[in-house]
């Protein structure tokens, strides 16, 4: 008789956060391992250049209907995924995945340079709902 595999249940919310971040880190590393290493500052520069090129190619019209959101954010001085937010909460400190941030930044470069249109499906940080469910709070 085959037993169903249950989701892990944790007795502590912090353990659930660490478990979920571990899952996200694994997905991020699997994605990043498909590429040769490239430093984030060089990635940001190439994203900036691609955004500038798309902006200038659109007759320099600030239009959220024709320009992708990442172009608008980059041109507005807010490079997506380039730095972590500093909201100061304990949850954020524990739930944030630098590996996932790097994976999303690399994915944005791939989108910016036209090698893919697909965004990553995993988050940059552990979701509160998932962590709560893992420790039985939901």
Supply the pTM of this predicted model: 0.84
Give the integer Cα–Cα distance in Å for 23 and 4. 20
pLDDT, tens digit, 9 for 90 and up, residues 72-85: 888 877 777 766 65
In a domain, 2, yes or no: no
pLDDT, tens digit, 9 for 90 and up, residues 68-117: 888 888 887 777 776 665 667 888 889 999 999 999 999 999 999 999 99
In a domain, 85, yes or no: yes
> Residue 24 belongs to what domain range?
13-34+53-134
Give the integer Cα–Cα distance in Å for 47 and 107. 10
pLDDT, tens digit, 9 for 90 and up, residues 26-60: 999 999 999 999 999 999 999 999 998 888 887 66
Domain count, the chain: 1
Cα distances (Å, whole numbers) of residue 12 to 44, 51, 93, 114 = 38, 43, 16, 43
C-alpha closest to that of 95 among 73, 58, 122, 56:
122
In a domain, 124, yes or no: yes
Q: How high is the pLDDT of residue 131?
A: 93
Residue 82 makes CB contacts below 8 A (sequence gap 6+) with 40, 44, 105
H-only helix segments in the chain: 13-32, 40-57, 69-75, 90-95, 98-112, 128-134
């Amino acid at each position: 008789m085959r037993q169903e595999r249950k989701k892990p249940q944790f007795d502590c919310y912090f353990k659930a956060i660490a478990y979920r971040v571990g899952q996200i880190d694994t997905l991020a590393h699997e994605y990043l391992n498909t590429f040769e290493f490239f430093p984030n500052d060089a990635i940001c520069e190439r994203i900036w250049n691609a955004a500038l090129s798309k902006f200038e190619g659109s007759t320099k019209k600030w239009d959220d209907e024709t320009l992708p959101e990442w172009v608008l954010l980059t041109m507005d001085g807010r490079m997506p995924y380039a730095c972590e937010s500093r909201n100061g909460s304990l949850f954020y400190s524990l739930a944030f995945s630098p590996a996932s941030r790097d994976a999303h930044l690399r994915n944005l470069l791939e989108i910016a340079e036209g090698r893919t249109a697909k965004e990553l499906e995993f988050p940059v940080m552990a979701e509160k709902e998932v962590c709560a469910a893992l420790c039985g709070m939901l």
